[in-house]
Each structure stands twice: as structure tokens, then as C-alpha cells.
Amino acid sequence: MFDMIASLFSGNALSVLVKTSGAALTMLVVVPALMKLFLVTVDEGSAAIRTRNGKPIIRKAKGGGDERGEVVVLRPGTHGAFPIFNWYRMVDVRARSTDLPARSLTGEGGHQHLVHASYDWRPIVSGHDLRVLELDVVNPKERSGNIVGAALRDLVHGLEGGTLPTNAELSDRIVAACAAQVQRDCGIELLSVMVTGDALTDGYLLSQAITSGGTTDTTPDDGDPTIPTVFAGRLTSVG
């Protein structure tokens, strides 16, 4: 037994053992490490932007009217990479929702609506749009929120009556009104807009009560018992 063990560490046997161990180590450790180093794997829901020295590489689009250019985008999958020259930054391109601040909006007939709304959006996976997202608008939520909020305000200003349309109708109209601007300025796709709360404000109810009381032929000094009833009816909370 001792002779057999000793023979493994002598002369040609030791050389074969070292070569075999080195080959196994290369196959198990070195090759996977090199493959990982020279390959970029992009998961579903993400995209990769090619960078150099921490900055996205900008390519000028041939024949395009936009002089801002595009970035190199890798979609989900495995791609070859040259880390000596280029690195990649991962960008989350999954859909997400952003809440708009509660706003008091006035309709065409003077009705005021306290509107709580949110909108769903996602980055557009294209060289130009992701370049806008990464470079021109570092936080697209603020800019896109302003655009969607302005479209919602303009739409409500043109509505009559004391209630807003259904979410399905309201969402389609707002998306049609501002989706192109949101894509151009923010590099994202506007999916839908949802109103999560809507009520007549106390200010409108109070003004209507006062107006109704002032236009009657009688005043509270006349002792008309219907005036308190009018005020009470006007100031009742509306869902």
C-alpha cells in the first residue's frame, strides 16, 4: 500500500496527476469565470445599456432628425461582451405605478372635484427612449407626473356635471391626450390612468348653499323656516 502511494508522487505519475488536476481545475473554475466575464446575461424585465467609463455610449442615428443619438441596448438573453472596452448598466424596464398628488379640479360648470389618481407606466426598450430615460430625465416620474396631471386637469375643466367619467373612459382619453409627449420627453410608455377617489369639495357645496340662500326672495331675518333646510341640504356630505 505504501509503495503504491509513493509511486503516485514519483516521476511521471506526479506529472500526470498535476496535469489532470490542473485540467479539472481549469474546466471547473477558470472556464466558467471567463465565460461569465466575457458574457452579459440580461434577465427578463431588464435591459442593459453599454457604457464606457461609467457613461452610456451614444451613437448618432443615421438619417434621423433627432441629433441626441441613441444608446446601445441589450434585450433579455446572453450577449458577448468586451469588458476591457465596454461595461453594461442594467435598467429595470418592468411596469410600475406612480401616484399623483391629490388635487382640487374645477369642471366646466363650476363643480370642484377632489381627485386622487395614479398612472401606470414602463420604460420603452429602444436606444433613443432609454437614452432619454438615463441621461435627459434622471427621474422620469416627476416629469411624466406633471404631464399626466396637466392632461387630467385640462380634461376635467371641460367636463359638465358633478361626477367624473368611468375609469375606462377617463384613462383612454388621458392616454390619447399625452402619451406621445410622455414618450418623447420621458422615454416611457403611458399605460393607463386610474382615479382612485373623487368627491365634491366643501368649498363648492358652501358656495352653492350661500348662492342659493342669497337668490331667494326671503332672508333668514324674515324668519323663513325653509332657509335652514336649504343650507342643511346643500352642506350634506357627498360620497
- Please report how the helices 140-157 and 167-186 are oriented relative to each other, as an axis angle in degrees rounded to 10: 140
Give the model confidence (pLDDT) of 103-121 as tens digits. 888 888 787 888 889 999 9
Spell out the long-range contacts of 59-64 with Cβ–Cβ below 8 A and sequence spacing 24 or more: 59/127, 61/127, 61/128
**Distance separating alpha carbons of residues 27 and 18, to the nearest angstrom:** 14
pLDDT-derived band at 60, boundaries 50, 70, 90: confident
Give the model confidence (pLDDT) of 6-51 as tens digits. 555 555 655 665 666 666 766 666 667 667 777 888 999 999 998 8
pLDDT-derived band at 144, boundaries 50, 70, 90: very high
**In whole numbers, what is the pLDDT of the chain averaged over residues?**
76
Percentage of residues in the chain having pLDDT higher than 90 = 22
pLDDT at position 59 over 90: no
CB 71 within 8 A of CB 131: yes
**pLDDT for position 210:** 66
**pLDDT for position 181:** 94
Q: String of b and e for 202-211 (b: at least 16 CB within 10 Å)?
A: eebbeebbee
**Distance separating alpha carbons of residues 190 and 130, to the nearest angstrom:** 15
